[in-house]
Chains A and B, each alone.
Chain A
Amino acid sequence: MSGRLRWRKFVSNFMLTLTGVCAFVSVAVLFFILGYLLFNGGTSVNWAFFTQLPKPVGEVGGGMANAIVGSAKLLLAASLFGVPVGFFGGIYLAEFSGTAVASVVRYAADLLNGVPSIVIGIFAYALVVLPFKHFSTLAGAFALGLMMIPITLRSTEEFLGAVPRMLREGAMALGASKWKTIKTVIVPAAYRGILTAILLALARVAGETAPLLFTAFGNRFWSQGWGQPTASLPVMIFTYAVAPYEDWHRQAWAAGLVLLGLILIINILARTILSRGIAVPRG
């Protein structure tokens, strides 16, 4: 073997090994994050964390019960707003619309998907907080719901479009109307993919902090209702992490572990069990 060839083979092996190292390092980051959170948060997650309100500044102990409930309320209201808009909009795109209208809607959805979450926060502030003159759970839910729309819409369209033509024609040949076909044949055939996408959208907004800062704001106590500010896990992590108190840092780790655990579990369930055999699009 000539020296030149040997050199080329060496370069080839070296560079290919290097790409492997890159891939390994990237994936290792995930396990590092998980391990570090488990290590730091694991010892701080206790019963009080889930059941108690935050203690006044300076006192040790307390929990984040109000933030956990707040996050749940925000996500519930966000889904009630975002999922129907995305789902029915997606049905329109896949089943009813002409190409011109569809491309306008699609473009708007893609644009909305790319808007930085902090800008979504400003929008929700201008549209919901300003007219009512105070921060509210609903404003936060509106911001999060907005972020769920494009993902739900595009994946509903995609999965409905992927239902084989034969199923549609079979239903129509039996005399079913178009709506009946959609309702009883097409949507049921695509529901697993759509559900996966909705769950992934939910997991994504569950960790969003920026749009909540000046919509749902924060609250050291139980929220007084949908029209009042509420605490949420991501905002709590932010506030506690940048505060100068040791005990708050400990609780920030605990909240981080709980939040990330929840998000990863939803992701894993959606991606493995629910979407078996389906190509899941990336948000």
Chain B
Amino acid sequence: MAIANPTIPSAGPAAGSRSFLSKLRDGDEIARLITFLFAASVVLITVLLVYELWINSALARHKFGLEFFVTQVWDPVMDQYGALPFIYGTLVTSVVALLLAVPLGIGASIFLAELAPARVSDTLQFFIDLLAAVPSVIYGLLGVFIVVPLMRTVIYPALNKPLGFLPFFKGPSYGVGFLTAGIVMAIMVIPYIISVSREVLLSVPRDQREAALALGSTRWESTWKVVVPFAKTGIMGSIFLALARALGETMAVTMVIGNTPKISASLFATGYSIAAVIANEFTEATGDLYLQALIELGLVLFLLTFILNGLARLLIVVTTQKGSGVVNR
């Protein structure tokens, strides 16, 4: 963020030396107090959020302890709850999504930052921003009616025939499953990768490119061997950001993952994710332990995204500051 005047010192002695009373009369102190209350409430809400998740999962945490994370059984009838199938499903779909989205997203961001003229780049970025605004449930709708049939008729035969000997591509496909969820998720996170990576690439100083070109490298060599390595940490940040979004992604995944708490090596198999099981079973959770086990899953999801978001922010800040924050055009 650029505030335009680094030289002038703060507002001058007059403002500081006025008596408390006159400041009160002018409304300054009242305004400070009121706006402070609003700002403090944001901190309060955040603390409260963590507190509520922690308190409302106490029953499940005490009953299952760390077993919760390694147990495969999810049986509301027997009141047995284990998170492993959901953690597995969340991780597998996220990894599939990133494998598809990262090359495409980085490729597109290179085009936008390095190749396209500013006008074209800005126009395309405008569309990418609109794409990021499309709600999750719409992706789910398209997933159900486009990707699922496509999976049955095109993608499954294409992968199962030649690669069926691999455990990932074995077995039958019902259209819904890990791979379908991963594909839909990939489409959803691409805009995030593009937007952040583009900004990071634009912050690479121009002389880096010019030096590489002057040494006789081609346009691609200067991009791939100089600019991208310079921006590497920030691009990693954009990937972490996308991963955090993918982990917490609920509606689209719920609609296409199949919703069965099973662990299967095959990507065609149906599964479940943390967010999806919360979305589906929360309102019908009878019994305290059932509800609290779901809230504990929410807590797990919160912690995962918390760590990833923190890492992502750190990486992006480090890189854009290295490039001194000057955007080249």
Contacts and interface: CB of A to CB of B under 8 A. Distances in A.
Interface of A: 8-9, 11-13, 15-16, 18-23, 25-27, 29-30, 33, 36-37, 40, 84-89, 91-93, 95-97, 101, 104-105, 108-112, 114-123, 125-127, 146, 149-150, 153, 158, 161-162, 164-166, 168-169, 172, 177-180, 182, 200, 203-204, 206-210, 213-214, 217, 234, 237-238, 241-242, 249, 252-253, 256, 259-260, 263-264, 267-268, 271, 282
Contacts of B112: 23
Given A89-B39, A168-B11, A213-B279, A116 B136 contact: no
B111 A23 contact: yes
Given A18-B107, A177-B27, A208-B135, A8 B221 contact: yes
B269 to A, nearest CB: 19
Main secondary structure of the interface of B (DSSP, over half): helix
Given A19-B111, A26-B190, A118-B278, A92 B136 contact: no
Interface string B8-45: 10011011000000010011101110111011111101
B39 A178 contact: no
Given A27-B127, A30-B131, A242-B144, A127 B48 contact: yes
Contacts of B294: 122
Given A26-B105, A92-B39, A117-B248, A252 B128 contact: no
Contact of A19 (B2, B107, B244): B107
B115 A20 contact: yes
B141 A26 contact: no
A162 B1 contact: yes
* Those 9 A-B pairs whose CB atoms lie nearest each other, nearest first: A207-B135, A116-B248, A22-B107, A177-B26, A92-B35, A12-B220, A12-B218, A114-B309, A19-B111
B38 A253 contact: no
Contacts of B137: 207, 209, 234, 237-238, 241, 256, 259
Main secondary structure of the interface of A (DSSP, over half): helix
Interface of B: 1-5, 8, 11-12, 14-15, 23, 26-28, 30-32, 34-36, 38-43, 45-49, 52-53, 56, 103-108, 110-112, 114-116, 124, 126-138, 140-142, 144-146, 187, 190-191, 194-195, 218-221, 223-224, 244, 247-251, 254-255, 275, 278-279, 282-283, 294-295, 298, 301-302, 305-306, 309, 313
